[in-house]
Amino acid sequence: MRIPFIAGNWKMNLDRRSALELVEGLRRRVGERRDVEVAVFPPSVYLDEIARALMGSPIRVGGQNCCDEESGAFTGEVSATMLADVGAELVLVGHSERRHLYGEGDELIRRKVHAALDAGLDVILCVGETIEEREAGHTEQVVARQLRAGLEGISAPEMARVTVAYEPVWAIGTGHTATAAQAGEVHAYLRGLLEGLYSEPVAAATRIQYGGSVKADNAAELMAVTDVDGALVGGASLKPEAFLPIIEFSG
Residues of the shown chain interacting with ligand PEP in the complex, contacts defined by CB under 6 A:
9, 11, 167, 172-173, 211-214, 232-236
Of the pair 179, 199, the CB lying nearest ligand PEP is at 179
Told to judge if 21 belongs to the known catalytic residues of this protein, a careful annotator would answer no
Q: How far apart are CA 185 and CA 50, in angstroms?
A: 36
CB of 237 to ligand PEP, least distance (A): 7
Closer by beta carbon to ligand PEP, 206 or else 209: 209
CA distance linking residue 244 with residue 234, whole number of Å: 13
Least Å distance, CB 11 to ligand PEP, is: 6
167 in active site: yes
Report the nearest approach of ligand PEP to the CB of residue 38 (Å): 15
CA nearest 149: which of 203, 82, 98, 197? 197
158 vs 206: CA distance, rounded Å? 11
Task: Please tell me which residue in 97, 104, 133, 167 is annotated as part of the active site.
Answer: 167
Taking a C-beta distance cutoff of 8 angstroms, is the pair 71, 91 a contact? no
Q: Which helix (H) or strand (E) holds 92?
A: strand 90-93
Exactly one of 95, 114, 129, 187 is catalytic; name it.
Answer: 95
Catalytic residue numbers read 95, 167
